[in-house]
Amino acid sequence: MKTHQSLEGSAAEMTSGTAPVAAGTGGSQPLARIVADLRSPRSLTTIILAALIIYFSVSNPSAFLTGFNLRSIAVQTAVLMVLAIGMTYVIITTGIDLSIGGTLVLASVVAVKVMREIGPSGTSIFVGLLCALAVGLAVGLLNGFIITVAGINPLIATLGTLGMAQGMALIISGGVDVPGVPPSLTSSMGVGMFLGIPNVVWLAAVLTIVAVVVLRATVFGRYTYAIGSNEEAARRVGIPVDRHLIKVYAITGLLAGLAGYIDLARFGTTSVNGHLLDNLLVITAVVLGGASLAGGRGSILGTLIGVLIPAVLQDGFVIQGLQPYWQQFAVGVVLVVVVFIDNARRTSARNLHRL
């Protein structure tokens, strides 16, 4: 068992942005370092992604390698990435958020209802965005308070708020999709492009860059890693753990609200039953990107690579003429395999440490 001093040392290590260097990985052993890099989660994910792209490109190049299809993959990746940024923060802290799909749907329903009341104008678009963000923020704050103040396990807490958000969306919408999105929103964000790249992709790219900087170069990022590495040690060195976790879940909810607004822009209507598996896709992407469900490890760039895999899989299955249900099966299998590998790696590391 760790002593008080060792607990504080591990947290201080994380908050200072430094990490211990393993013995035997210096310049005298370049081959060992290369092998270790190839076995890293991000490298394995990159290899899987490259294999998928090569397979679909070779099997049907006339359909997969077209500009239209590549833009479709980019848009699908962008929407998932907006959700995955927040999930990366959550998983690094050893948490989980199953409510993002319900939050997205509720935010989109509230936003479109408000925009319909105001009418098709620039004001309605702006107010609709604020409503979507407010709904997402409210659900995220609720998650944070339930987890930190009530002390409920994140899995159970966010499963409960998933049901609450999805149920409220169905009540408000009457269980049917709500149309009436202003055409200007659809034309500008939904199908609009700049320099041949969809505006949705530009938005996701900006958010990704910001998220990378926040996680790598700010106190927020250092606190996030410290809490995930050892929550007790983080508390002992003075990190406001509960307040930070509330912020993390609030950011995740806020991004889910933004994703709901983007969904409206893309389709011109709500999709009240179209996001039931968003949490599975996003969690899989984050874990594929190298984040550990045990916390303390993960990166935004790794998540970006992980997000591309479900997007490419979905697109490739459509091109191959397979039913979309196979995508759900494949993503589920990948998630189980990746978690198994992660557990095996951590068990091996612990056994090696004991030696």
pLDDT tens digit string along 46-100?
888 888 889 888 888 888 888 888 888 888 889 899 999 999 999 999 999 999 9
Give the pLDDT confidence score for residue 10 in this predicted structure.
Answer: 46
What pLDDT score does 23 carry?
Answer: 41
Of 191, 171, 181, whose CA–CA distance to 118 is shortest? Answer: 181
Sign of dihedral through CA atoms 139, 83, 204, 79? negative
Position 41 scores a pLDDT of 57
**Secondary structure E strands in the chain:** 193-194, 197-198
pLDDT score for 279: 87
Two structure tokens written together for 344? 């095996």
Given this model, what pLDDT does residue 35 score?
46
Q: Report the length, in residues, of the chain.
A: 355
Low-confidence ranges of the chain (pLDDT < 70): 1-43, 324, 335, 338, 342-343, 345-355
- Tell me how far apart the alpha carbons of residues 177 and 112 are, in angstroms, rounded to a whole number: 10
Tell me the CA distances in angstroms from 264 to 33, 46, 97, one per residue in order: 47, 31, 22
pLDDT at 180: 82
Map residue 353 onto helix, strand or coil.
helix
Tell me how far apart the alpha carbons of residues 134 and 87 are, in angstroms, rounded to a whole number: 18
- The pLDDT of residue 13 is 45
Query: pLDDT by residue (tens digit) across 188-224?
Result: 888 888 888 899 999 999 999 999 999 999 999 999 9
* CB-based contact 269:177 (threshold 8 Å): yes
The pair of three-digit structure tokens given for residue 23, joined into one six-digit string: 């013995």
Pair type for strands 197-198 and 193-194 = antiparallel
